[in-house]
Structure 1
Amino acid sequence: MNLLIKNGLIVTMDGERRVIKDGAILVRDGRIEEVGKTHKVSKFSAEEVIDARGKAVLPGLINSHTHTHETLLSGVSDCLELYSWSDTVLQPYLKSLRREDCYWVALQACAQMIGSGITCYNDMFGYNSPILDVIIKVIERCGIRGVIGRYIRDAEDPKYASMAISDTLAAIEQCRDKPRIEVRFCPFTVLKCSGETYGKTRELASKYDVGLHTHMAETRKEIQIMEKEKGKGTVEYLDSLDFFGPDVVAAHAIWLKDEEIKILSDKGVKIVHNPSSNMKLASGVIPLRKLIDRGVTVALGTDAAPFSDDWDMFIAMRLATYLQKVHNLDAAASTAEEALELATINGAKALMLEDEIGSLEVGKKADMILIDLKGVGLTPINDIAKKLVFCGTGCYVDASIIDGEIVMENRCLKTVDESELVEKSQTIAEDLIESSGIWKSLEAQGVKRWKVI
């Protein structure tokens, strides 16, 4: 399909960070063919035309770290740090989660992401048996761009790692002719994965030319355990395994020494900041300024739904900026423009997709979103970058275009029956939470909630 978007405010995120007033974009066969002023670009014909008057046009947002299997746990828990939450909520939930549920769980997550302006996501799915074939079906149905993988861990059961690696290898083969889907190996964390498994996934990623996705230095407890058991922190330990490289995406990276930041920079490791998660779980604050100043690529993620309780990258951008300002007692510690880079072009760099997505430039894939600027909430527009980051939410996203296809228009998803999805998700969530005994477990932990009568 050929598509012309005209009369919009184009936030290109290109190398010059151009913002084009009364701009237009021409899309042919899923790629951007022209970007410029409407009076120049609109002379080209197109099968479909979108009048973007009163709208901003941005590259699709990239959620560089998440766990879609936890979608139905949003708004469930509070007041627990990571490990207590995992024992009290996540593990009982995973034991009750059925394979047939996973399709609807993942579809709910993808629908929410598309609805809030996310056109590409990097997922680490958790399930106790092969599942990536189901996630592939979800992505194909809803039209989002996905970089997928699954937990690989062997601390409790060595057979789990073998199963998860086999599932990942099968997905790599299945996705060879699916350009919107890439697969990564996902060793879970140093506390749940042996050095042998990290080494195995490193070897396989290099062999099959795919990336790696892991958690790293998320909590102070993790570092304390590593220093006690291994005599070194997480970064130094993974470096000793020759795990690092430009194809590694590491989520969190909060508890870092200066010499570890140098290692990450030297090895080209990509970092994903998850401000909502880090705040809610009281995990800590990423040394964002030090990482960026060292030349480390930092992207942005929502993490799992229970930690951000939404899939809203606008809120993630705002929190990332505010968190650095207050933590460093420096109002200039982070900027709106920097936050937009984390959510777009840096996300593309983290996933090694910067030649394809992350900015609105000729030759790139046509992944873009339209933001309605006409409402009271976004008026007046004094500076578009600052307005989007400090005032925007996913609710202002009017349309989402992925691979040149319109997957949401006028805030209506075109690939998913939203009424059916809402009904299915609510039913499954109520059943899972009840059957897993999560409410009782939370009460035993002293977590209070209001009673519904």
Structure 2
Amino acid sequence: MSPACDLRVKGGKVAQIGPDLTPEPDEEIIEGHVNLLMPGLINGHFHSAVNHMKGRLPSLPLEVFMLYECPELEVLRPTPREAYLRTMLGCIEMLRSGTTSVQDDCFFVPAPEPEIIDAVAQAYTDSGMRARLALDQPELSELEKLPFLRDILPDDLRHELSVPTGAPASALLESYAHLIDTWHDTSDGRIKAAVSCSAPQRVSPDYFAQLDDLSIRNDLPFYAHMLETRLQRVFGEVCLSGRSLVRYTHDLGLLSDRMNVIHAIWVDDPDLDLLAASGASVAHNPNSNLRLGSGVMRWRAIQDRKIPVCLGVDEAIADDAINMWSVMKTAASLHTLSDWDYERWPQAVEVLNAATQGGGTAMREPGLGTMAIGAPADLILIDLKALPFVPLNNLPRQLVHCELGQSVRLTMVAGRVVTRNGRLQTVDEDAILAEASAVFAGKQNAMNLADKRVEKFLPYYREMYLRAGQYDLPVERRIDHLAR
């Protein structure tokens, strides 16, 4: 920790750091009271569309979980106000606990609409957060995205799942045009776009390439879920002639330093070598990976190759709290099971870097997640007199292992104070929470109806999942195999 000093913000950026800076006449003075000023946390991977569903689902494997999480059903179509409120719920939770930036890989059920995109972006604008917003939309049918289903399903359900239910590529590109033209680089650069293919196996190579072109032309991060689950590794073996999704993306010429490879659990050494050579970032979501039983990412192997890592919550029903401190604690603890050599376990400073500077790298925002001169003034003030830091023995370890966001006293984004003492200064929290409580209580019947409509697929998805578990693979990323 640096000695006590002053920091000056101008134009939304860190302008000067030093002892006893002389205040200028028009400056607001914020007293730090010898507490810790540090970069705001960056939620490097998030799906805001289910912020209103926290605690709704049990722990399930991803492929079964997604049946209930985001079925493309008309009954689940939100109103613009619902989309605004659910996004704002996440903003409130993040800003209160010191998360200042987010990469929202937002999905839209049953498909993106301009007014819903606008509602999500407006919530981020109003809250004061820094956000990258992408449209996480698959393009292909379920039968094309998953292994074994074609052989498992009866004829009627096979036919039903052979037809794509979302928007076609042409409509999705029109939605991206709206997102970029309307919202990219607005609010003095605080709100920006990104692109997303959801996952390589969920889109056609042609649409995948068109998204990459969009990313190149606008210098946007590109989000792609890869090798999150064992079943996805099996998909490569069965459906891609033995190629992993990382190799498949590389073979298409689409693996680049703009790409955020989300999860990257079931990777092997050749996959990691490709990621390192490309400059891609890995978005690590340890709480979600545990909640869905996906597996344990290779933390040290990724760090050894100097692959940039950011940390993410994933979503409010695969973590159930939108809290980056919890994510850091899990990341620091989980990987003690990954390597017998304790000197290779995650260090607190590494984890803090992933939650700050690593997120800035993934967002393609120079200086974000640091306090360098010229960096965005996205800062938080931590009360060092709070219980997690009394007594103060080792600051990085206590930030990672002891703090859960309760000690954040001030949150600043782009030089603007957006929370003080746990309350947002930008919106009426009480009114938002009361309205959201009433609105989403009224959505329970629709969500229950959606659950009923997808239950007919459950036995066949379970069979697919069990087949994937029995498939012989050269890699293993779960600990249950130790008991076999």
**TM alignment of 1:330-345, pairs within 5 A:** 330-332=341-343, 333-345=345-357
The amino acid that maps onto 1:180 is R
Q: Tell me which residue corresponds to 1:27.
A: 9
Q: Distance in 2 between matches of 1:177 and 1:439?
A: 36
Q: CA deviation at 1:119?
A: 0.7
The amino acid that maps onto 1:155 is L
Q: Tell me which residue corresponds to 1:139.
A: 124
Q: Output the TM-score relative to the length of structure 2.
A: 0.83
Q: Distance in 1 between matches of 2:449 and 2:347?
A: 40
Q: Tell me which residue corresponds to 2:43.
A: 63
What SS is found at the alignment partner of 1:361? coil
When you count strand as a share of all residues, which structure comes out higher? 1
**TM alignment of 1:31-430, pairs within 5 A:** 31-37=13-19, 39=20, 41-42=21-22, 47-91=27-71, 95-100=75-80, 101-127=82-108, 128-130=111-113, 131-156=116-141, 157=164, 159-178=167-186, 179-231=189-241, 232-332=243-343, 333-353=345-365, 355-430=366-441
Q: Output the TM-score relative to the length of structure 1.
A: 0.89
Equivalent pair of 1:92/1:436 in contact (CA under 8 Å): no
The amino acid that maps onto 2:195 is F
Q: Distance in 1 between matches of 2:64 and 2:72?
A: 12
Q: CA deviation at 1:263?
A: 0.4
- Can you list the C-alpha shifts for 1:270-318, whole angstroms capped at 9, x where unaligned? 1100000001101011111111111110111110111111111111111
The CA RMSD over aligned residues, in Å, is: 2.2
Q: CA deviation at 1:153?
A: 1.6
Q: Distance in 2 between matches of 1:72 and 1:160?
A: 27
Structure 2, unmatched stretches of 5+, are 142-163, 460-484
Equivalent pair of 1:399/1:411 in contact (CA under 8 Å): yes
Structure 1, unmatched stretches of 5+, are 1-18, 447-453
Q: Distance in 2 between matches of 1:95 and 1:213?
A: 27
What SS is found at the alignment partner of 2:203? coil
Equivalent pair of 1:68/1:123 in contact (CA under 8 Å): yes
Equivalent pair of 2:127/2:427 in contact (CA under 8 Å): yes
Q: CA deviation at 1:36?
A: 2.7
Equivalent pair of 2:185/2:192 in contact (CA under 8 Å): no
Q: CA deviation at 1:345?
A: 0.6
Equivalent pair of 1:153/1:160 in contact (CA under 8 Å): no
Q: Distance in 2 between matches of 1:180 and 1:250?
A: 23
Equivalent pair of 2:357/2:367 in contact (CA under 8 Å): no
What SS is found at the alignment partner of 1:20? coil
What SS is found at the alignment partner of 2:256? coil
Q: CA deviation at 1:372?
A: 1.6
56-65 vs 124-133, which moves further? 124-133
What SS is found at the alignment partner of 2:9? strand
What SS is found at the alignment partner of 1:308? coil
Q: CA deviation at 1:347?
A: 0.7
How many residues in Structure 1 have an aligned counterpart in Structure 2? 425
Q: Tell me which residue corresponds to 2:479.
A: none
Q: Distance in 2 between matches of 1:380 and 1:150?
A: 45
Q: Distance in 1 between matches of 2:313 and 2:73?
A: 20
Q: Distance in 1 between matches of 2:79 and 2:357?
A: 35
